[in-house]
Amino acid sequence: MTNSGKVIAIYFPQFHTIPENDEWWGKGFTDWDMVRRARPMFPGHHQPRVPLESNYYDQSKLEILRWQVDLAKRYGIHGFCHYHYWFDGRKLLETPTELFLEHKELDMPFCLSWANETWSRRWDGRDDEILIRQTHPPTEASWQRHFDYLVRFWMDERAIRVDGKPVFVIYRPQRIPQVGRMLDFWRRKAEAAGLPGLFFIAQKQYEHPKRSALDGFDAEFQFQPFEAVYSPGFSSKSVRASRWFRWVRALPEGIQDRLRAMKARRRRALTFYDYDEVWEQIVRVREDARLITFPGAFADWDNTAR
């Protein structure tokens, strides 16, 4: 590994139980249930993906976090980017991240990425059934609630920083009304709390936000492989066959739900991509001249379990 950059792994906290998933999917549900149920769907398809030594770990256990930190450091990972689920005051799947914050001996830099999206029964092909909707009241009261939760993570000495400013990633910022005002509000609050500011990163995939949606952001992160396969110029036949997906993602969320529900009623088909072809596109995709661009990478991608 060279010293030209730092590798930050996305930390997906869905491998522990929560009451909401018990209600929506059945008692004791975690993403491991889908991993276990996965089956090969074509010759040579590597499913199910059984973890090494059948270690279906529970992320609510401190010893698991210790093991993950040790493993990541052993293989050159600089830090974790924890997915953060926030629905205007309601948080979900927060246990691993809060446990991580509480235990300072977990010596691993970290940042949070707001997984800013409505939850539906998409996994069952029923996008029209909403489990919890993501709302964005453009009010200082709403922004203050979120800030009050986040600031303790930003104040932690392990927080990943750029020029001393804690990093915060936001997925699909174009869905947030007055996002620039919200970021300015948070910056002012952070400075009042003694921080030199905040460093905001927009997570880029599917859509190409208008300039106004990036107001207040310092950088963007190219989430792969989606940034590559749905980017202009990618010529894969598979992408041409499913081009509707990128178009749908640009529509209002309510219309998205209805269109996906209609499509789900039809026979569902697999879409294949050539790994080398996708990586060639990742290399070709240009950085955004407007913002600092952090490249994303992936070693494998198979979401057929869902």
Residue whose C-alpha is closest to residue 124's, from 270, 261, 15, 301:
261
Tell me what pLDDT residue 43 has: 87
The residue ranges of every structural domain in the chain are 8-294
**pTM exceeding the 0.85 threshold for the entire prediction:** yes
Tell me what pLDDT residue 125 has: 46
Give the pLDDT confidence of 236-291 residue by residue, as tens digits: 655 444 445 555 555 665 666 566 555 554 545 677 888 888 898 888 877 776 78
Residue whose C-alpha is closest to residue 174's, from 138, 210, 219:
210
Top-tier CATH class for 8-294:
alpha beta
Distances (CA, A) of 44 to 48, 49, 119, 162, 275: 12, 13, 32, 44, 15
Higher pLDDT, 122 or 3: 122
Q: How far apart are CA 128 and CA 253, in angstroms?
A: 11
161 beta partners: 166
Q: How far apart are CA 112 and CA 186, in angstroms?
A: 15
Residue whose C-alpha is closest to residue 175's, from 213, 231, 143, 147:
213
Tell me what pLDDT residue 239 has: 47
166 beta partners: 161
Q: Is the per-residue pLDDT at 168 higher than 60? A: yes
Residues sharing a CB contact under 8 Å with residue 285, sequence separation 6 or more, in sequence order: 222, 227, 228, 231
8-state DSSP, 163: T
Q: How far apart are CA 284 and CA 192, in angstroms?
A: 42
Distances (CA, A) of 140 to 69, 117, 144: 36, 20, 6
Phi, psi at 21, each rounded to 5°: -70, -30
Structure tokens at 201: 């990163």
Tell me what pLDDT residue 240 has: 45
292 beta partners: 219
Whether residue 158 contacts residue 110, with contact meaning beta carbons closer than 8 Å, is answered with yes
Q: How far apart are CA 239 and CA 68, in angstroms?
A: 35
Give the pLDDT confidence of 178-226 residue by residue, as tens digits: 999 999 999 999 999 999 999 999 987 655 556 667 888 999 998 888 8
Tell me what pLDDT residue 174 has: 87
